């Protein structure tokens, strides 16, 4: 667990959620809220205590205290916004295709928790972006021989760079990892490069790392002089599992989170 805060005030909750909800983390919020949905239809959930879950694959779920099915959800969120309105905290999740918005207004907050989760059994099937991050950090040669990792999740005004590297010729290299890259992935990589160019002199490389890519997205990359490296998930999973053999189990650790 990254962080766990019980009964946070609005400013504390806004800061914590805003820091992690757009990144590769699972964010859990429990509180009294109303939920409004606009898109292909309209719906409203009146006041109730609910669990809001933003998952690492960008899915959003709103659960009540009963039943296994969520009361509202988005399978994929393209953008989030947070705002304090009076005495309430408003979280909006937007999806562009189709155009949908889920607006959640919290009157009170019981808990905010942040995790970075890895599901071992599912990794054997398809893996997650976080596993590619871990593997690149352990073995940067997966991208290219002679690569050196400088920083993981490097913060920039445009967001967090997945992995920041230098190649064998000491050229700054920005790595963006995507499981299913699209045009927005290319634009995000370009924004990171634009920010790095403001901070560092010399040539800047941008590499999109993914298990697969469409011809259209590849062309979009090449038009911007950006690169693509294909990563076989079987190789990543094998590398990740071998690293894990020497790691401790959950029973070897004491709880380390703060409330």
- 199 CB-near residues (< 8 Å, 6+ apart): none
Residues of the chain with CATH 2.70.180.20: 3-115
pLDDT at 55: 93
CATH code 3.40.1350.10 region(s) in the chain: 121-244
Closest CA relative to residue 26, chosen from 2, 44, 6 = 2
Sheet holding 204-210, edge to edge: 148-156, 159-166, 172-177, 204-210, 227-230
Q: Which residue has the tokens 């006041």?
A: 47
Contacting residues for 170 by C-beta, under 8 A, at least 6 apart: none
Q: What pLDDT is attached to residue 129?
A: 66
Would you state the pLDDT for residue 120?
A: 56
Angle, CA 32 vertex, CA 31 and CA 38 arms, to 5°: 100
Q: Where are the beta strands (DSSP E) in the chain?
A: 3-6, 26-38, 42-54, 60-63, 72-74, 79-85, 88-95, 100-115, 148-156, 159-166, 172-177, 204-210, 227-230
**Could you tell me how many residues make up the chain?**
259
Q: Which of 118, 81, 100 is nearest to 41 (CA)?
A: 100
Burial (CB count <10 Å: 0-12, 13-18, 19+), residue 217: buried
- What's the pLDDT at 179? 82
The DSSP code for 156 is: E
- 217: which DSSP letter? H
This prediction has a pTM of: 0.50
Query: What pLDDT score was predicted for residue 83?
Result: 94
CATH class of the domain comprising 3-115: mainly beta
pLDDT of res. 256: 42
pLDDT string in tens for the chain (259-residue length) = 688 999 999 999 999 999 999 988 999 999 999 999 998 788 999 999 999 999 998 899 999 999 888 999 898 899 999 999 999 999 999 998 889 999 999 999 999 999 988 775 543 434 456 677 778 888 898 899 999 999 988 998 888 999 999 999 999 999 998 888 898 899 999 999 999 999 998 899 999 999 889 999 999 999 999 999 998 766 665 544 444 444 443 334 344 434 3
Task: Considering the domain delimited by 121-244, tell me its CATH architecture.
Answer: 3-Layer(aba) Sandwich (3.40)
What's the rounded Cα separation, in Å, for the pair 50 and 24? 23
9 contacts: CB under 8 Å, gap ≥ 6: none
Q: What is the rounded distance in angstroms from the CA atom of residue 193 to the CA atom of residue 208? A: 12
Residues 104, 35: Cα–Cα separation, whole Å: 5
> How far is 67 from 81, CA to CA, in rounded Å?
28
pLDDT for res 84: 95
């Amino acid at each position: 667990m990254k962080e766990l805060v019980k009964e946070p005030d609005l400013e504390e909750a806004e800061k914590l959620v805003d820091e992690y909800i757009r990144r590769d983390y699972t964010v859990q919020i429990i509180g009294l809220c109303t939920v409004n949905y606009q898109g292909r239809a309209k719906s409203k959930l009146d006041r109730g205590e609910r669990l809001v879950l933003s998952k690492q694959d960008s899915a959003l779920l709103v659960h009540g205290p009963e039943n296994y099915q969520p009361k509202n959800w988005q399978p994929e969120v393209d953008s989030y916004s947070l705002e304090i309105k009076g005495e309430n905290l408003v979280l909006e999740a937007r999806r562009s295709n189709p155009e949908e918005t889920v607006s959640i207004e919290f009157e009170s907050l019981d808990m905010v928790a942040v995790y970075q989760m890895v599901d071992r059994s599912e990794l054997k099937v398809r893996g997650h972006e976080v596993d590619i991050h871990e593997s690149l950090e352990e073995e940067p040669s997966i991208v290219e021989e002679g690569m050196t990792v400088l920083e993981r999740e490097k913060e920039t005004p445009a967001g967090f760079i997945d992995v920041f590297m230098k190649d064998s010729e000491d050229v700054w290299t920005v790595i963006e990892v995507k499981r299913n890259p699209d045009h927005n992935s290319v634009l995000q990589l370009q924004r990171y490069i634009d920010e790095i160019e403001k901070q560092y002199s010399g040539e800047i490389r941008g590499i999109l790392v993914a298990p697969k890519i469409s011809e259209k997205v590849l062309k979009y990359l090449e038009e911007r002089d950006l690169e693509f490296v294909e990563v076989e998930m079987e190789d990543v999973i094998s590398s990740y599992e071998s690293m894990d053999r020497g790691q401790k189990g959950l029973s070897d650790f004491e709880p380390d989170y703060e409330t």
